[in-house]
Structure formats: structure tokens, C-alpha cells
Amino acid sequence: MDVQQIKQRFGIIGNTAGLIRDIEIAIQVAPTDLTVLISGESGTGKETFPKIIHQYSSRKHGAYIAVNCGAIPEGTIDSELFGHEKGSFTGATDSRKGYFEVADNGTIFLDEVAELPLSTQVRLLRVLESGEFIRVGSSKAMKTNVRVVAASNVNMVKAVDEGRFREDLYYRLNTVPIMVPPLRERKEDVYMLFRKFATDFAEKFKMPALTLTAEAREMLENYRWPGNIRQLKNITEQISILEQNREVSAITLKKYLPISEGSKLPALYKRIDEQTFNSEREILYKVLFDMKSDVSDLKRLVVDLMNHGVEKTNQNEEHARIIKNLYDDTKLSYTPPSEKVSTVFIGDEEESNAQIQDTEEFIEESLSLSDKEKEMIIKALEKHNGKRKNAADDLGISERTLYRKIKEYDIDL
């Protein structure tokens, strides 16, 4: 079976060694019934390989169904894949076959398989292992003979480690892996793809095709293409329709390339639960207590300066710097001392020995969380005249928890 013929049949452009190797793997695995997992960034053309596998398998006369798992709502994904019985949920006015039932003796392509809910992953694992599935709302097991090819643009190993994808299902799908290279690793193919897209667009809209200067071609090949082939096609079509000059220079091309050359940031996945809120509250407490500690240090330093003075100018400047830093850390306003004020610290001997009375008494405050908690409980009980239920409501805790805290801190009512 010739690779070149397959490239022509399925419209594959490129001669990169990695791309050719992927095509060869697809050809070799096609006659078998092994599951295949296709990995690669978004826009690399992963959807072409399931078609190759299906067309060169014994199932080529059966159904081929492509399912985008990320586009189906979680509440209906089981019904879409496995079908449902009449009355199994609101709106189920009739029984319906799922994709696995329709694709019997054929091939089903599960794109973005990492987006499947965990409950659906369990059902899919059963299909892969025994060929059995159960319609939503039914208790009868049904059989299907389906070849499964899956694809994902996320790091599946990381998804397994984070608990978002079942490990046993991952290994069951990853019997034969195919890793589609990103466009930045196919530099020699970039210009070929550009010419293909430019020619197709010109023929479709009856206009001259675009050409590139040498500098523009070099820029095109050295760009990182975070959106891969899909991005290259979109930019080619933009330039074709917006530029009057059919020869594209590097200056013109640069206008259509995003400034950030392909820095790829992963999509964040964060489960928000009670533990998360507790952690954020603890962080907030810590920040507040740290700020309070800084203010206490600032008070102590100011009192020390006012009581003892400073013997040397450089020492005074060092203390001033420390004060400013403490003000900056606590986000308080800071006004540098004037020359008149500074003479109190660095003036002649009579002024430096002057007695300066501090009108504020410095009290070291406790920063213990347990002390603060006990203090708040006592205040709440005093506020409500010892009524525990009202005090608990005011504190935002249960009456049982309040009773336990009273015992724990030995609070005398």
C-alpha cells in the first residue's frame, strides 16, 4: 500500500518523517480491531487518521461515525452514545438508538475523549472490554461490535494523574498510539500547505493566488503556529481576501501573525469545593496576621527611636529605610521625615537628649488563632446574654460546635 496514494486520497500535505510514520502506523493497524489513541495539539489534523484506519479495514463497508465528546452536554452524553428507552427522562418521548448501536460492525471515532464524564468513562470501558452496553433507562444488556478510535489534544497522562480520566480506560484506548506532530515541527511542510490553501481559495473565488517573497516565506516557516494547520489556513484566507497585492512581503505577513509567537498556555482545570474555600480563608487569615505583625514591629521601632534617639546620620537613614519598607509591606501611606524632624534624632547633644514623651502605650497583641477564636466566642455569648443558639448563629457555626468549643476553651458562663 503506497503512502503517496493515501496522501492524495485523503488530502494530506507534507513529507515530514513524523507525519509519514503516523500514516504508516495507521495503515499497519487498520486490518486489526485494536483500539487507537491519536494525540496531538488542536488543529494538527488528527481527524484524518481515523478515516484512513476505517477505509483500509475490514469494516470499510460498515458505518463510520465521528463524535465530538466535548460538544455534547454532560446530561445527554450517555443517551447520545448508548441510546435511551422511552420515558427514561423528561423529553424521552420515544426509544432511541445510540451511536454504539448504530455503528455496529463499523468504526466510531471519539474526538476529545478526555472530555467524557467519569460515569460515561465506566460505560465506555465496558463496551471496549466486553462489547456490552445498556441504554439509559433500561436494564437489558445489548451487544455491539464496534472499532473504537479516540483522539485528544490534552496530556492524557496528566489527566489520569489529576483524576479526570480513568487509568484503566486510558490503557485500554492506548493500545496503539499515534502522535501527530505540531506544525512547528514540520517547517518543510509549512510552505507546501500555504500554497495549497492559497490555490484552493483562489480557484474557489476566481482570483489570482498569493505568492510570498523570500523574507515572507522564511517568516512563515519560522513562526511557531500555536493553532497549527487550522491557523495557517485561516491566515492564508485572510490575506487572500484583504490584500490587493498578490505578492505578500514580510511586512504584510507580519500584520496577520499574532505578536505572541505561539506561547501555549494549558487550560486550567480547578475543582471548586469546600476544601478550596477553607484554604483560601486560611491564606487570608495568614495575610491579615502578617500585616498585623508588621504594624506591631513598626510601632515598636518608632517607640524605640523616640525614646533613645539615633547617634549617627547613617543609622538614622537606615531606620528611616526600615520604616518605609514596613509601610510599603503593610500598604500604609508614608511621608518621609522633614529636615526639622530629623534634627530630633541627629541634632546636637542637647536636642538629642531631649525627653520625648510617647502618648501611646505599646501593647503586644496575641496572634494566636485559638486565642482569637476564644475571644470571639466570649463576645458572642456576652452579646446574646449566654444564649448559645443565638451566639452560634451569629458566629456562623452550629450550636453543637459552639458547645464543643466552650468545653475545649473552658469558657465560664
- Tell me the per-residue pLDDT of 109-159, one tens digit each, with 9 for 90 and over: 999 999 999 999 999 999 999 999 999 999 999 999 999 999 999 999 999
- Which CATH number do you get for residue 402? 1.10.10
If phi > 0 it is left, if psi is from -120 to 50 it is alpha, else beta; for residue 98 that is: beta
What's the chain's length in residues? 413
Q: Is the pLDDT of residue 250 over 90?
A: yes
For residues 233 and 373, membership in a common domain is answered with: no
For residues 215 and 174, membership in a common domain is answered with: no
Confidence of residue 267 (pLDDT cuts 50, 70, 90): very low
3-state secondary structure of 384: coil
For residues 173 and 121, membership in a common domain is answered with: yes
Residue range 20-32: mean pLDDT, rounded: 96
- Tell me the per-residue pLDDT of 309-333, one tens digit each, with 9 for 90 and over: 544 445 555 555 655 565 555 444 4
Given this model, what pLDDT does residue 281 score?
Answer: 62
Is 99 within a domain?
yes
> pTM of the predicted model, to two decimals?
0.62
CA 203 remoteness from chain centre: 40
Q: Is the pLDDT of residue 207 over 80?
A: yes
Given this model, what pLDDT does residue 321 score?
Answer: 62
Is 93 within a domain?
yes
Tell me the C-alpha to C-alpha distance, in Å, between residue 175 and each of 31, 46, 114, 149, 198.
14, 17, 16, 10, 38
Looking at residue 260, the DSSP 8-state letter turns out to be S
Contacts of 63 (CB under 8 A, 6+ apart): 102, 103, 104, 105, 106, 107
Residue range 243-270: mean pLDDT, rounded: 73
Closest CA to 377 of 351, 352, 339, 403: 403
3-state secondary structure of 108: strand
Q: Is the pLDDT of residue 336 over 70?
A: no
The three cell numbers of residue 17 are: 518523517
Total domains, the chain: 4
The three cell numbers of residue 75 are: 446530561
Q: Is 55 exposed, middle or buried (0-12, 13-18, 19+ CB in 10 A)?
A: middle
For residues 156 and 303, membership in a common domain is answered with: no
Is 357 within a domain?
no
The three cell numbers of residue 76 are: 445527554
How far apart, in whole angstroms, are the C-alpha atoms of residue 307 and residue 313?
17
Residue range 372-376: mean pLDDT, rounded: 83
Domain around 389: 369-409
For residues 207 and 287, membership in a common domain is answered with: no
For residues 333 and 377, membership in a common domain is answered with: no
- Tell me the per-residue pLDDT of 279-294, one tens digit each, with 9 for 90 and over: 566 676 667 767 777 7
| Bridge partners of residue 67, in order along the sequence | 110
Q: Is the pLDDT of residue 170 over 70?
A: yes
For residues 120 and 147, membership in a common domain is answered with: yes
Q: State the DSSP H helix or E strand holding residue 188, giving kind and residue range, or none if neither.
A: helix 187-205
Residue range 329-338: mean pLDDT, rounded: 49
Confidence of residue 366 (pLDDT cuts 50, 70, 90): low
Q: State the DSSP H helix or E strand holding residue 52, giving kind and residue range, or none if neither.
A: helix 48-55
Q: Is 291 exposed, middle or buried (0-12, 13-18, 19+ CB in 10 A)?
A: middle
Confidence of residue 334 (pLDDT cuts 50, 70, 90): very low
3-state secondary structure of 390: helix
Is 265 within a domain?
no
- Which CATH number do you get for residue 101? 3.40.50.300
Task: Pick the range with the lowest mean pLDDT from 159-168, 258-267, 282-291, 403-412.
Answer: 258-267
- Which CATH number do you get for residue 218? 1.10.8.60
Alpha helices by DSSP H, listed for 339-398, are: 339-346, 349-352, 369-383, 388-395
For residues 207 and 119, membership in a common domain is answered with: no
Given this model, what pLDDT does residue 261 score?
Answer: 44
Contacts of 132 (CB under 8 A, 6+ apart): 126, 141, 142, 143, 144
Q: Is the pLDDT of residue 89 over 70?
A: yes
- Tell me the per-residue pLDDT of 35-56, one tens digit each, with 9 for 90 and over: 999 999 999 999 999 999 999 9
- Tell me which of 26 and 312 has the higher pLDDT: 26
Contacts of 359 (CB under 8 A, 6+ apart): none
Residue at grid coordinates 452579646: 383
Is 57 within a domain?
yes
For residues 303 and 374, membership in a common domain is answered with: no
User: DSSP string of 12-25?
Assistant: -----HHHHHHHHH
Residue at grid coordinates 485572510: 238
For residues 86 and 16, membership in a common domain is answered with: yes
- Tell me the per-residue pLDDT of 389-400, one tens digit each, with 9 for 90 and over: 888 888 888 888
The answer to whether 35 and 148 have CB atoms below 8 angstroms apart is: yes
Given this model, what pLDDT does residue 342 score?
Answer: 41
